[in-house]
Structure 1
Amino acid sequence: MLETKQEMDIFSIRLPQGASPDEARVQFLADSIRENGLISPIAVSPDNALLAGFHRLMAFQKLYQEDGDDYRQIAVRVVDKGDSSHLQQLETSEKLFHPQLTILEKAEHFKEYFNELKYGQNRHKTTAIFRTLDISRRTFFNLRAIAERLGGPVRERILNSELRDLANSTPQLLALSKYDEASQLEILEIMAKQGCGTIFEASRLFQEQAEQPAQRKARQKFLKSPSLKLDKDLRQDLAKLAQTTGIGQNELFNEIFEAGLELMQQKYVQ
């Protein structure tokens, strides 16, 4: 059975012998916890020995000294050292919050964990797996999409090349995941050879290359039509979306228009 978190007094947890905190990291975590709360619980054994989360615990003790009883209790997971499923859960949770791992690498660890629980001997439901990882629903499904749709050759191409920065961009990885693997590799090749700044730019070039000339001419003519005027509210929504995603407004408009056009064609064109 997969367990959820519980709370424990920060001074009842036994620390590992000889452990010495990195004060800068403790301060960083304390500031983050004060602002956002504790995202990932620490792990303890049934006899209250700390298994993982030393610096998070030190941050809570620091916050207790500075801010008082609001930080006297900390979220924990009680893990039996002999329980392999709990240890796997602990290891995966730690990796999903590891600052030196990219989003793409985290997705790989997520996939191993998810597949073991979803398709292994016990076959847990997706909602039960979600509750064990202490990540948002959006993050959970983003990681799942990236893990399932970006295969080994694509991950290797990104991680072992000049495109490695792409591995830390969730929006771009999700955009790439919409294509089949052959197209993904072509888009990455376009991005590398033509110096595209984003996957969105590279995928647009890929689509233009794949289009028939007549289709491209008709689409460009329509997009340049002066009748395509957005009202004030829509312009504001488009600007906010551009700011959130980091995608240019023109790129966003084209993507929105093309997606809408495809839906309309499916609905009305027999």
Structure 2
Amino acid sequence: MSQAQLMDGAGLARRIVEETAKRAAGLKDRTGMAPCLATVLVGEDPASVTYVRMKQNRCRKAGIESRHVALPAGTTTAELVDTLTALSADPTVHGILLQHPVGPHIDERAAFEAIAPDKDVDGVTLSSYSAMSFGLPGFVSCTPGGIMRLLDEYDVDPAGKRAVVVGRSAILGKPVGMLLLGRDATVTYCHSRTTDLSSVVREADIVVAAVGRPRLIRGEDIKPGAVVIDAGYNEGNVGNVDFDTAVTRAGLITPVPGGVGPMTIAVLLEQTVTGAERQVGV
């Protein structure tokens, strides 16, 4: 039985970060200023603390300064908005990342909208979503942007293909569907209320699994030769796709880990340097 080709997100991400580091060094040589990413974390959720620390380490390796703002768990929406507004006005900060989720007592959308569009390197504001939807210049949501780069790397042209996105979150499912639509795919969104999900997935040339349920997409539901992008991560290095069965039917498939995850951080760093270049006018 044939096996799908693995899409090496880790390898592509390394190349993107290497190029990003060269651009960061060039910017500092020309202006004396290194690109700076500000990370904001509310509370001390262990997973979020780990993610932020990892992003700080990757920044350092890419020649990007990292400024971390740690706020107590009891921070109010107004206090968080004030923090993000101040960072947006700071000329030494070129990108802002609000680690989410922020807690149920905070209006997350209000917090996101406090981030200036030209510093929204995580692609979470309404301005960024509009730009993605209309094909205008702006920052893409990092995971969807990483998915599109993976498709390009493996010469997958979405034009004319049936793409099924399983998930409708504001920073993953919805924007990746819009990016695919912008590349002339025929896009179907599925979610928790989709009737007979399996029958929809079986028609897909491209499947993007972006939900929080382990192994939701089964191998027998994959169209032979389809491209399978697993954007999920669950405890035990398990994605949203049942990899062991899907790998025998797909043409291309992302592993978990080593597929989409590294691309998310690579795009974040790349967009931070792009933001810095734009803001200093080089």
TM-score of the two chains, using structure 1 as the length reference: 0.28
User: Larger RCO: Structure 1 or Structure 2 (Cα < 8 Å, ≥ 6 residues apart)?
Assistant: 2
Q: Which has the larger radius of gyration?
A: 1
